[in-house]
Amino acid sequence: MRRHLTAREWVLLALLGVILVICGYMLLLYIPQTTERDFCLQEAESVQAQTQAARLRLEEKQRMEQELEALFSADTPPQGIADYDNIKPIMVELNPILALTTEFKLTFSTAETSQPLVRRSIAVSFTADSYERAKTVLQRLHDSGCRCMLENVNLNLNEGAEGPVQFNGTLVFFEYQALAPTTEKPPQPQQNAGTEGSAP
């Protein structure tokens, strides 16, 4: 015999149906859409931050380019940068510094011109009797009267700080040239197995 549902049972079934519809909506539509929306918002914020950082870098680069252009637009070289073809004063500067090593080698490269700035790279390798002596040499190279910077620095402590130290790196000297320099032939590599000097 078929049983008829009571009013209370119909109400409970209706509530159950509503709950099922809400759960289905939450699981199938609301939660995936919310997750995707949050992901898109995070991506948008990340892109905005990257764009802002790129804009700041571009502004900084443009500012530096303007400063460099103003710096080198004068007829006289900027303070601290020697005139072009400064190789002889460089050698005069390097010889007493490298005399503190037990052995050194210099390899010259052709000067690179980005008018009016000239980069003169010199590959330097030397052996010092201790880490302190190598540190003294590097400090003197850094404090050289000729404007320069050290690149590709490599120190090899064969026997610790008290043993011989081998150094390899590149010294880049900067020079000023208002007119484009003529193509120059790089000097031949120089090597010296000179005597050890006293560290200051």
pLDDT tens string 76-125? 555 566 677 778 888 888 899 999 999 999 898 887 877 677 888 889 99
List, for residues 138-158, the tens digit of each pLDDT value: 888 887 777 777 888 888 877
Give the C-alpha distances (Å, rounded to integers) separating 35 from 21, 29, 107, 142, 162: 20, 10, 61, 55, 61
State what percent of residues in the chain have pLDDT above 90: 6
pLDDT > 50? residue 72: yes
pLDDT > 80? residue 26: yes
Q: Mean pLDDT over residues 3-32, rounded?
A: 84
CB burial class (10 A; 0-12, 13-18, 19+) of residue 179? exposed
- Reported as type and span, the H/E element at residue 33 is helix 31-72
Mean pLDDT, the chain, as a whole number? 77
pLDDT > 50? residue 176: yes
Q: What is the pTM of this model?
A: 0.47
